Amino acid sequence: MGGANVVVVGSANVDHVVEIDHRPVGGETILGSDLVFTPGGKGANQAVAAGLVGGAVAFLGCVGTDSSGDLLIGSLAGAGVELAGLSRMSAPTGVAIIMLTPDGENSIIVAPGANRSVTPEFVATRAGLLAGAAVVVAQLEIALESVVEAVWHAPQARFVLNAAPARELPDQLLEECDPLIVNESEAAFLLGQESDDGAALARGLLARGARSVVVTLGSAGAWVAESDGEPVHVPAAVVEAVDSTGAGDAFVGALAVRLAEGAGLVEAARFAVQVAGVSVTRRGAQASYPRRDEVPAP
């Protein structure tokens, strides 16, 4: 199965990106740019980001037998990601439709396709891959039951959960998160309260049972909270954003690699914000991710 010490369990999509002047309201038709197809999906994004910054990474997920699947496999392999955990299914490869506005922000609709085949049974057949990992990373574009299954097969690993898109989490899963990575809106959803105080949100999620928490703030950086101290603010890189698509995934993948290398959580987050900072200065998701020698020192 190879020597991967970071295993990413999750989704793989092809992003269909269209640039628009503004987000349409109900009933409105607007003209956009020509459609651009790029490799994406939160799981594949995080695996590619981790591979490019030098991690020994494996990806566990599903794509179709179509040309979109070929595109994703090529991107993962090009980043040095081990593909023993990937399978090709008769279902179409997952698709994300991304509307990008001039401010660099995006709105996304996901059609899961082959990602629905990442079932608990599928994950269980890759138990050997998970058993060798130092860090296991998951997101919520696949079935929650499959994420739980991955944790079950990797009791020795540090479990990193990027709880996006937002959904309720069972206490038993939350208690395995080290860290739980969420943005402000996802944190507020999990706590059932609105707040623009990232430190308070991080403390609240620790109180709910997470072992450690990272609340990402986009251009404002991130709050990192561990059980043995007060939350620490990690400033974002100062850059001119062009496209924020996949920047959060760049952060997660980079952070996982530094954790696997033995870095503390704050140190890992400082590296991760630099990787995310590079990514927003370039177009696309996986196409925007830097290699290790392109990442500024924290």
Q: Does 282 show up as a binding residue in the annotation?
A: yes
Cβ atoms of 249 and 285 closer than 8 Å: yes
Q: Is 45 annotated as a binding residue?
A: yes
Check whether 4 is labelled as a binding-site residue. no
How is residue 208 written in tokens? 């709910």
Q: Give Dmax over CA atoms of the chain in angstroms.
A: 52
- Is 243 within any annotated ligand binding site? yes
Amino acid at 114: A
Helical H runs in 92-239?
120-124, 127-131, 144-152, 171-174, 184-191, 198-208
Find out whether 162 is annotated in a ligand binding site: no
Q: Is residue 50 a known part of a binding site? A: no
Annotated binding-site residue? 220: yes
DSSP letters spanning 122-140:
HHHTTHHHHHT-SEEEE-S
34 is an active site residue: no
Q: Is 244 assigned to a binding site?
A: no
Cβ partners under 8 Å of residue 140, min gap 6 = 147, 162, 163, 164, 165, 166, 167
Catalytic hit among 21, 66, 196, 249:
249
Q: Is 43 annotated as a binding residue?
A: yes
Among all residues, which ones are annotated catalytic? 249
Binding residues for K(+): 243, 245, 279, 282, 284, 288
Annotated binding site: 13-15, 41-45, 141, 183, 216-221, 243, 245, 248-249, 279, 282, 284, 288
Residue numbers belonging to the annotated binding site for substrate: 13-15, 41-45, 141, 249
Binding residues for ATP: 183, 216-221, 248-249
